[in-house]
Structure 1
Amino acid sequence: MLGALLDWLLSFQVYLPIAEISVSVLLLLALGGGIGFLSGLFGVGGGFLMTPLLIFIGVPSPVAVATTANQTVATSVSGVLAHWSRENVDFKMGAVLLSGGVFGSLVGVAIFSILRRYGQIDLVIHLAYVILLGSIGLIMLAESVRTLRRVRRARGRAMAPRKLHQHVWVHGLPLKMRFKKSRLYISAIMPIGIGFVVGILSAMLGVGGAFLIVPAMIYLVGMPTSIVVGTSLFQIIFVAAVTTILQSIENRTVDVLLAFVLTIGSVIGAQFGGRIGARLPGEQLRFLLALLVLSVAGGLCYELVARPDDLYVLQGLTR
């Protein structure tokens, strides 16, 4: 009975006009709900997981990247509104990050178009995700293991507070600006550079870039943790929107129907993930997230070396 009901639900197929495949609506809702759940549980945007999973279910890599950027806009707006209500958004810093992010997205879309024209975009996306997720996963795993060990050793005795950042060469750069909300007087060069890199990643991989902005702004720039998350989401809204528009005009790889179904699932899943995540220790969450990231990287790595179904594919240059 349960199997028949599941087969009946899976039989509802939706045709994705840009991806040019038919996919179960239930599968897309479950995928969006799962990513939303993980986003609420671990406090991440989920774009770096959504794109590989879309590729796993058969969505072409260019469409997966562009569509994930489209979905990131909706999720980031929701997050910014929540942080804005708590006055945790530095709009001046966000504008500086955005200036670099928009230029980076222009460069990223141009590179994306060139690679797609010569038929190398799938390989580049897979390799980039394997390297990116593998590096992030290993760093997070090592950091979480060290934290777990430190917590166990420190039980029963107070831990000495640690400084989040130190004054390094970054603070000696020119073009200094004062950011009252973040209580900083620093050079605008570093935030612009961080935004530029995130813009390229957003265009090339469909990620929001919070996993890069947040640690960079905390440990390099010295931005307060309570302010950096909301500010990062504010910047991501516009960078992801610019990326979506450029991908739609230049490459025609944004599948709005796919993004819509995924967004519905992710909004629902995020509510449950946020409630459960509030009950679990942070170091355990980071450990679990590291394992998840490494498993996705391993799956993509396997696809790179596995024997394909079609050994030869004829493909002309796209214009």
Structure 2
Amino acid sequence: MQIYLPIAEISVNIYLLLGIGGLVGVLSGMFGVGGGFLITPLLFFVGIPPAVAVATSANQIVASSVSALFGHIKRKGVDYWMGTVLLIGGLIGSTIGVQIFNLLKAMGQVDLLVNLCYVVFLGIVGGLMFIESINALRKSKRSGARKRRRHNWVHNLPFKVKFRISGLYISVIPPLMVGVFVGILSAIMGVGGGFIMVPAMIYLLGMPTKVVIGTSLFQIIFVSAYTTMMHAITNHTVDIVLALLLLIGGVIGAQFGTRIGAKLKAEQLRILLAALVLLVCIKLGLDLVITPLDVYSLGTGE
């Protein structure tokens, strides 16, 4: 069954869009990511214009993240104070990111920028996370004893605050900067930023994995909602019909993802997320360098 998308100005199979939303919802519940790093490229692949895909993806991320968050709230896996600090940074970053997006759109370079950002960030983050996850999995098999967290430069910064649920006493500067960076990415790439934020919360801030996913979702909800509103007001690129279909699929999928994630170990979740990030990166990278099957050129008719 085909459905016409008024803002994207194309017709797409309705079940395909529901399936994309459902898949991303499962990922949101399992890994604590909004799923934008996957849903935006998938929308590219089905013919949605990049500007519409970026703006509308942020809207779907809100729905799947809200649905997934409820499961983590029940398990008391959300650090609201840490989430609030990340959120403040995220709102600042989103405002900056939307302005950059508008500037590049006016220059006609937004499509290339979005694709390059995906390849670079997904490649770096996925590679580092995959290597670390393999090492963590090996260590957990060798010994069940947990090592004490090592202090790094983060613990020497001023303006320290106690985050009780995370069991941390660190400066608010690092989580604030993480929030700003993720907010910029959210606006430019149409992502929730979980694929950057989750590793940063684990490896940079030293948060326990059991609270990272829920806290990440808490921040993603508000930043993605704000980003969607900004794109709708400034660019008019949010397709409500597309967003609704993705939203329905995302809400349903997130419930299954939360249950699956609860049954897997932290190391297993991290290595699965890393593998998925790398696969998307490779696909987008190949699309940038491989000559398409339908090669055509524009010219004046004679």
User: TM-score normalized by structure 1?
Assistant: 0.83
- C-alpha distance after superposition, 1:118-169 (max 9, x if no partner): 11000000111011122223223323433454466x3xxx433123x42222
1:49 to 38, 45, 51: 38
Residue 79, structure 1, aligned to residue 68, structure 2? yes
Q: In terms of mean alpha carbon deviation, does 174-183 or 68-77 score higher?
A: 174-183
The aligned counterpart of 1:132 is 121
Displaced runs of 4+ in structure 1, greater than 6 A?
none
Residue 261, structure 1, aligned to residue 245, structure 2? yes
Q: CA deviation at 1:228?
A: 2.9
**Shift in alpha-carbon separation, 1:85–1:201, aligned structure 2, 3 A:** same
The aligned counterpart of 2:187 is 203
| SS of equivalent to 1:182 | coil
Q: CA deviation at 1:16?
A: 0.8
- Larger of the two Rg values belongs to structure: 1
Q: CA deviation at 1:104?
A: 0.3
- For 1:190, the aligned partner's letter is P
Identity over aligned residues, as a percent? 57
The aligned counterpart of 1:186 is 170
The aligned counterpart of 1:103 is 92
Instruction: Provide structure 1 residue ranges, at least 5 long, that are not aligned to the other structure.
Output: 1-11, 314-319
Q: CA deviation at 1:86?
A: 3.3
Instruction: Provide structure 2 residue ranges, at least 5 long, that are not aligned to the other structure.
Output: none
- C-alpha distance after superposition, 1:28-67 (max 9, x if no partner): 1122222223444555432211111111111111111111
RMSD across aligned positions (CA): 2.4
Q: In terms of mean alpha carbon deviation, does 278-287 or 117-126 score higher?
A: 278-287
User: TM-score normalized by structure 2?
Assistant: 0.88
Contact between 2:96 and 2:184, CA under 8 Å: does it hold in 1?
A: yes
Give the Cα separation in 1 of the matches to 2:211 and 2:263: 23
1:177 to 151, 158, 161: 161
Give the Cα separation in 2 of the matches to 1:197 and 1:49: 19
- For 1:107, the aligned partner's letter is I
Aligned runs of 1:1-319 on 2, under 5 Å? 12-150=1-139, 154=142, 158-163=143-148, 165-278=149-262, 283-284=267-268, 286-307=270-291, 309-311=295-297
Q: CA deviation at 1:23?
A: 0.2
| SS of equivalent to 1:159 | coil
Q: Count residues with an aligned counterpart.
A: 297
**Shift in alpha-carbon separation, 1:81–1:279, aligned structure 2, 3 A:** closer
- For 1:160, the aligned partner's letter is A
